[in-house]
Structure 1
Amino acid sequence: MFTGIIEEIGVLRGVQREGQALVLTISATRILEDVHLGDSIAVNGVCLTVIRFDASSVSMDVMPQTYRSTNLKQLQPGSRVNLERAMAAGGRYGGHMVQGHVDTPGRILSRNREENAVVYVIRPEREDVLRYIIPQGSVAIDGISLTVVDTTEESFAVSIIPHTLQETILADKAAGDTVNLEADILGKYIDRLLRAPAPSAATKKTGGLTEAFLAENGFL
């Protein structure tokens, strides 16, 4: 679990490619302070697992499903990436609950300055994701916890303060670029529960949740 508060910007040192499987090696400093094999680190909002590290870099696998579902496939040596370690127990939730499970890439339609802020308008590749994105709600963009300021039938907007631009790779992004999008997990669970079919006969007999009911409705 992450919070969407980026800890540092790393630089991609190398990419090993084998079809749709990748190994990313990223130069970093802060996230290496207490790194261990098997740790989870969010790279541009994608939860990846540490497979090796040294004093100045960390390497992580990208499997084909992640390759297809995110913009990590577009990275090249020298690319800057947002990095965040998994949240420690007892830490502060400065952002919101972020899983690092990207719902869809999105494309930036426009980037415009509004006094001290920069407003990005983004269209998700999967239109159904928009049902989870609401004004004043939370969304993770390349792993950054942000507040939605407006929505339409095909896009949404976020307003970025100068500090966020300085501390993340959003400063590098312009109209036409892609970003990873993760909608608020609470909205997704509520939507799934509301859309679940009526309880089965097995559930009615017991008067509560059963393993069969959970499996039938996609929770197991």
Structure 2
Amino acid sequence: MFTGIVEELGTVVSVEDTGDGVRLTVDGPLVTSDAKHGDSIAVNGVCLTVVESGGGRFTVDVVQETVRRSAIRNVAAGDRVNLERAMALGDRLGGHIVQGHVDGTAVLRGSDDDLTRFELPAELSHYLVEKGSITVDGISLTVVEAGRTEFSVALIPTTRELTTLGVRRPGEEVNIEVDVLAKHLERLAAAQLDQFRAGASGS
């Protein structure tokens, strides 16, 4: 579990094709200061498991499903990535509840009127509401505008300075995780609606 508050901008050292996924080695002195084998670190919002660490670097294996679903497939050596360690019990929840389970990707369209705009798949857009939470590349952000296939956020200078959104260019893909509470509510509402329809048809 994460909060979407990026702790460190790391640098990808290497990307190795393993046949059934990729192995990433990332330079991140802060997040590796107490990292152990089996710990979770979010890389651009993707929860990954540490398999090796030392010398300020850590290595993770990324399975093909994660490569397919996320923008990790575009990562190359030298790229900057957002890093966050899993939250500890009792930590402040500075952002919102983030699982590190990416739902898909969006495309950065650009910035205007102090807003940064993204285009996302229509099947994800209904989870977004104005003033609701969304995770972009592992960053907890507040939705300013929510459309059918796009949304916008307002970025403060600190976010631009300390995260990948400060170097992203129009046309680039970013990882998106919608609010898990919205997904649970949808599931519960669908079950209730099915029960109502079944009752109505039997009356």
TM-score normalised by the chain length of structure 2 = 0.93
User: 2:165 corresponds to which residue?
Assistant: 170
User: 1:52 corresponds to which residue?
Assistant: 52
Q: Deviations over 1:187-208 (max 9, x none)?
A: 1100011112329xxxxxxxxx
The structural deviation recorded for 1:123 is: 1.1
Between the aligned partners of 2:54 and 2:27, the Cα distance in structure 1 is: 10
The structural deviation recorded for 1:20 is: 4.9
CA contact (8 A) 2:5 2:139 kept: yes
CA contact (8 A) 2:108 2:171 kept: yes
User: 1:142 corresponds to which residue?
Assistant: 137
Between the aligned partners of 1:50 and 1:14, the Cα distance in structure 2 is: 15
The structural deviation recorded for 1:45 is: 0.2
Misfit runs of 4+, over 6 Å = none
Identity, in percent, stands at: 41
Between the aligned partners of 1:14 and 1:174, the Cα distance in structure 2 is: 22
Matches within 5 A, 1:112-191: 112=112, 114=114, 119-124=115-120, 126-191=121-186
Matches within 5 A, 1:99-114: 99-112=99-112, 114=114
Q: Deviations over 1:7-52 (max 9, x none)?
A: 0000000011134510000011110111111001000000000001
Give the counterpart letter for 2:153 in structure 1.
V
Between the aligned partners of 1:189 and 1:109, the Cα distance in structure 2 is: 29
Unaligned runs of 5+ in 2: 197-203
Give the counterpart letter for 1:198 in structure 2.
Q
SS in 2 for 1:30: coil
Between the aligned partners of 1:56 and 1:151, the Cα distance in structure 2 is: 39
The correspondence for 1:198, drawn from 187, 195, 198, is: 195
SS in 1 for 2:188: helix
Unaligned runs of 5+ in 1: 200-220
Q: Deviations over 1:56-104 (max 9, x none)?
A: 2000010000000000010110000000000000000000000000011
**Aligned-pair Cα RMSD in Å:** 1.4
